[in-house]
C-alpha cells in the first residue's frame, strides 16, 4: 500500500512541470521595468546606468551582446527587486535593438529588448531660451481642455473632475495647449514653460504636477508621450520653444518605488519614514547654502527636510539616485528636443549634486539653458547661483539663469507706495537695477511679475490697470529674460482670496466648451481686458524685432517728480521707456538727457504709433510709454 505522501510517477512529472512552469514564467508574468527605456548613440554621456525592477530580479544575471555596447558592472540594491546595470556605449556603436537577457539557474532565460536610437539632431543645435525670448508660463490643467475623453482615468487615485473646486482637476491637457499655439505665437511669446506634465498619481491636488510618481511617464490625463512630442514639434514650427519643468528635490508619496525603495538611503530621513514616524519638514533656510556661519543642524533641515509630507525628499548623495536624476533629465531633453529646463526648488537639494546635474546637461548641450527657482528677494543670494559668479566658497553652479524674485518684489513695492521720502517708490527699482553688478550676466536672469505660486500681479497691484501696464512694460524693456504667467494678459486676479493657490491657477476663459468668455478670441472680455491684451501683444511683438530691447546697452536716469526713464541703445536703434506714476499728464524737460545726443531725432510711440520729435520737452501721459528711434540706413 502506497503512503499518501508518496507521489506516483505521473504526479511527480506533473508537479515538476508545474514548478518548472512557475520558474519559467516568474518574470514573464509580471512587469519588467527598465529605466531609462532607451538611449542614443553619439552622446557625451555614453556611460549609463539602467534601473531594472521586477520581483527578485537580483537573483538573475543580466547579459548582452551588441557591438559597441559593454556591460561593465552589476549593482545589487538593498531590495532584492532591483538591479542597476552599468553600460558603456562606444563611439562605434550603431543605432539598433538588442536583447538584455536575464539568466537564472533552473529557470528559462528572460529578455528585454533595448534600443539605441539615432539622435534627432546634433547636440550643438539644442539652443536654449535666452534674453531674446519671452516665456509664457502655463498651468496645463487650467489652460484648455482639448480632449475631454482623458479627463478621468479610472485606474488612477484621483478621478474627480470639478471645475468649481480650486484644488480638483479641471481637465486641461496637452491637446489644449496644441490647439492654442497660434494664440501664443500671435501674442508674441517665443517659449512655453509648462508646469510638470508627468504622472502625478496622488489622491488629491494632483493637478499641479509637482508630486511626480513616475519620472518617465506622461500623466494620461494630460495625454501621452507621443502627444508631448507633437506639442514640442508643432510649437517649434511656430517659433516657440518648449521649456520643461523638472523636480530633482522630491517625488510624490504615490511614486511607484515608495512601496519598495531600492536602498536604505534613497530618501532623506528614510528610517523615520519606514518606521511610520514623524518626518521633519524643511526649515526653508535656503541661505544656509551660502552662510559661512550656518550650523549643521540648520543646513541639514534645509537640504534634507521634506518639502511637505506628500513629497518625499530624495537623497541625491546616493550615487545611484544621482545618476538616475541626471540621466532622466537628459533623456527628456533628447526625447522632446527641449528649449530649456526650469528646475523647481533649486536650493533645497544637495548643492554639490545640483552643480553636477546642471554641469552634465550643459556638457551634453553646450548651447542649452536652465533656470533655477530660488525664491529669495536678496540679490546677493540669487547671484550666488548664477554660473560665473566668483563665490568665496569656490562654488560654481553651472546654472545660466536664476529667477528674479528680488526685482519682482521691488517693482510691486515701488508701484504701490508713493514717491515721498528717500528711497521710496520708483527709487526702489532704480537702486535695485544698480545692484545688477552682483550678477555675472544680468540679461540671463529671468524676470517676471507673477507665477503659479504667488498672487496675480493685478491683485498685487490692487487691480490698478495703469500700474499693471507699468509693471509688464518695465519687465519687457529691461535687460532680462521675461516670463509672463498665462492670464496676466487679460488681468486675471485672485483679490477676494489672496494666497489661494488653486485660485491663482484658475481656468483660462475659453479653454472649455461652453465658456461664455473666450480670451482666445476676445469674446465677452471687458474693454479693460481687451485693451490690456492688445497692449501686451503690441509690446511683445515689438520686442521680438527690437535689437535695442534684446541686446541694447541700458542707461537709466534717477527718478524725479514721479518719472523714471530707461534707455536701451543698440547700434542704429534707441528706445526709451517712461514710467509716469502721476495721476495727470506731466511735462518734462528733455535737456536732462542731453548726454545721449537725441535732439532732433524722430521717435515713434510703440503702442499707439504716434510720432515724436525729440526737442526741448515732452508731455507724458500717466502710466507706461515706450518710444523707439531707428536710424535709416543709407
**Is residue 379 within 8 Å of residue 435, measured between CB atoms?**
yes
Taking the C-alpha atoms of residue 237 and residue 107, their distance in angstroms, rounded to an integer, is: 51
3 state SS of 189: coil
Which residue is catalytic, options 219, 313, 373, 387?
373
Strand 47-53 and strand 553-560: pairing? unpaired
Retrieve residue 99's grid coordinates. Answer: 536583447
Q: For the chain, give the longest Cα–Cα distance.
A: 124
Taking the C-alpha atoms of residue 619 and residue 627, their distance in angstroms, rounded to an integer, is: 13
Which residue is catalytic, options 141, 173, 334, 344?
344
> What count of Cα atoms within 13 Å lies in the side-chain half-sphere of residue 469?
26
158 is a catalytic site residue: no
Strand 33-35 and strand 47-53: pairing? antiparallel
Question: By C-alpha distance, which of 336, 347, 279 is closest to 312?
Answer: 279
Alpha carbon distance, N-terminus to C-terminus of the chain: 117
In the block, which residue shows the cell 532680462? 480
344 is a catalytic site residue: yes
Phi (first) and psi of residue 436, to 5 degrees: -60, -15
Taking the C-alpha atoms of residue 523 and residue 516, their distance in angstroms, rounded to an integer, is: 8
CB atoms within 10 A of CB 618: 19
Question: By C-alpha distance, which of 439, 498, 447, 443 is closest to 471?
Answer: 447
Please give the torsion angle defined by the CA atoms of residues 332, 337, 340 and 341, in that order, rounded to the nearest 10 degrees.
-10
Strands (E), 290-403: 340-343, 370-372, 401-402
**Is residue 520 within 8 Å of residue 537, measured between CB atoms?**
no
Q: Which residues, at least 6 apart from 110, have a Cβ–Cβ distance to it below 8 Å?
A: 27, 28, 32, 60, 101, 102
Retrieve residue 633's grid coordinates. Answer: 540706413
Q: Which long-range contacts (CB under 8 A, 24 or more apart) does 513-520 make?
A: 513/145, 513/148, 519/487, 519/489, 519/490, 520/180, 520/183
Question: By C-alpha distance, which of 482, 291, 534 is closest to 371?
Answer: 482
How many angstroms from the chain centroid is the CA of residue 173? 17
- The residues assigned a catalytic role are 344, 373
Amino acid at each position: 500500500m502506497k503512503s499518501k505522501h508518496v507521489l506516483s510517477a505521473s504526479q511527480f512529472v506533473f508537479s515538476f512541470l508545474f514548478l518548472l512552469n512557475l520558474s519559467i514564467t516568474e518574470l514573464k508574468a509580471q512587469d519588467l521595468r527598465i529605466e531609462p527605456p532607451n538611449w542614443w548613440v553619439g552622446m557625451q554621456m555614453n556611460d549609463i546606468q539602467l534601473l531594472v525592477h521586477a520581483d527578485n530580479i537580483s537573483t538573475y544575471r543580466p547579459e548582452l551582446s551588441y557591438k559597441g555596447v559593454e556591460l561593465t558592472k552589476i549593482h545589487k540594491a538593498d531590495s532584492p527587486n532591483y538591479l542597476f546595470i552599468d553600460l558603456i556605449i562606444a563611439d562605434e556603436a550603431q543605432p539598433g535593438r538588442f536583447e538584455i537577457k536575464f539568466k537564472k539557474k533552473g529557470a528559462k532565460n528572460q529578455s528585454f529588448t533595448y534600443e539605441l536610437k539615432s539622435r534627432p539632431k546634433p547636440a550643438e543645435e539644442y539652443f536654449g531660451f535666452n534674453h531674446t525670448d519671452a516665456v509664457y508660463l502655463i498651468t496645463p490643467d487650467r489652460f484648455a481642455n482639448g480632449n475631454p475623453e482623458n479627463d478621468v482615468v479610472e485606474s488612477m487615485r484621483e478621478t474627480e473632475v470639478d471645475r468649481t473646486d480650486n484644488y480638483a482637476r479641471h481637465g486641461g491637457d496637452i491637446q489644449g495647449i496644441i490647439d492654442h499655439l497660434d494664440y501664443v505665437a500671435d501674442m508674441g511669446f517665443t517659449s512655453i514653460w509648462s508646469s510638470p506634465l508627468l504622472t502625478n498619481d496622488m489622491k488629491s491636488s494632483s493637478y499641479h504636477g509637482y508630486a511626480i510618481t513616475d519620472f518617465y511617464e506622461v500623466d494620461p490625463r494630460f495625454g501621452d508621450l507621443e502627444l508631448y512630442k507633437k506639442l514640442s514639434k508643432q510649437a517649434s514650427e511656430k517659433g516657440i520653444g518648449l521649456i520643461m519643468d523638472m523636480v530633482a528635490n522630491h517625488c510624490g508619496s504615490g511614486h511607484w518605488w515608495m512601496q519598495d525603495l531600492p536602498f536604505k538611503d534613497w530618501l532623506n530621513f528614510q528610517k523615520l519614514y519606514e518606521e511610520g514616524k514623524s518626518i521633519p519638514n524643511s526649515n526653508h533656510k535656503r541661505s544656509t547654502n551660502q552662510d559661512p556661519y550656518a550650523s549643521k543642524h540648520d543646513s541639514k533641515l534645509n537640504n534634507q527636510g521634506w518639502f511637505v509630507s506628500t513629497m518625499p525628499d530624495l537623497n541625491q548623495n546616493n550615487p545611484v539616485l544621482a545618476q538616475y536624476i541626471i540621466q532622466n533629465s537628459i533623456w527628456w531633453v533628447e526625447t522632446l528636443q527641449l528649449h530649456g529646463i526650469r528646475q523647481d526648488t533649486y536650493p533645497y537639494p544637495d548643492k554639490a549634486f545640483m552643480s553636477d546635474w546642471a554641469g552634465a546637461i550643459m556638457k551634453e548641450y553646450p548651447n542649452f539653458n536652465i533656470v533655477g527657482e530660488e525664491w529669495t528677494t536678496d540679490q546677493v543670494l540669487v547671484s550666488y547661483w548664477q554660473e560665473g559668479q566668483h563665490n568665496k566658497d569656490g562654488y560654481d553652479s553651472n546654472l545660466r539663469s536664476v529667477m528674479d524674485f528680488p526685482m519682482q518684489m521691488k517693482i510691486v513695492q515701488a508701484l504701490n507706495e508713493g514717491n515721498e521720502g528717500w528711497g521710496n517708490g520708483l527709487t526702489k527699482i532704480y537702486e535695485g537695477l544698480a545692484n545688477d553688478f552682483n550678477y555675472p550676466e544680468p540679461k540671463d536672469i529671468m524676470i517676471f511679475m507673477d507665477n503659479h505660486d504667488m498672487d496675480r500681479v493685478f491683485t498685487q497691484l490692487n487691480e490698478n490697470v495703469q500700474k499693471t501696464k507699468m509693471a509688464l512694460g518695465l519687465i519687457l524693456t529691461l535687460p532680462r529674460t521675461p516670463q509672463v504667467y498665462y492670464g496676466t494678459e487679460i488681468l486675471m486676479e485672485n483679490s477676494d482670496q489672496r494666497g489661494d493657490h488653486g485660485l491663482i491657477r484658475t481656468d483660462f476663459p475659453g479653454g472649455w466648451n461652453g465658456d461664455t468668455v473666450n480670451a482666445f478670441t476676445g469674446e465677452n472680455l471687458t474693454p479693460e481686458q481687451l485693451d490690456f491684451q492688445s497692449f501686451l501683444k503690441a509690446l511683445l511683438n515689438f520686442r521680438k524685432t527690437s535689437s535695442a530691447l534684446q541686446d541694447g546697452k541700458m542707461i537709466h536716469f534717477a527718478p524725479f517728480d514721479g518719472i523714471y526713464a530707461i534707455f536701451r541703445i543698440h547700434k542704429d536703434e534707441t528706445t526709451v521707456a517712461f514710467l509716469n506714476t502721476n495721476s495727470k499728464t506731466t511735462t518734462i524737460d528733455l535737456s536732462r538727457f542731453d548726454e545721449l545726443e537725441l535732439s532732433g531725432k524722430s521717435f515713434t510711440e510703440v503702442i499707439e504709433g504716434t510720432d515724436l520729435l525729440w526737442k526741448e520737452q515732452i508731455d507724458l501721459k500717466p502710466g507706461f510709454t515706450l518710444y523707439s528711434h531707428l536710424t535709416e540706413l543709407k
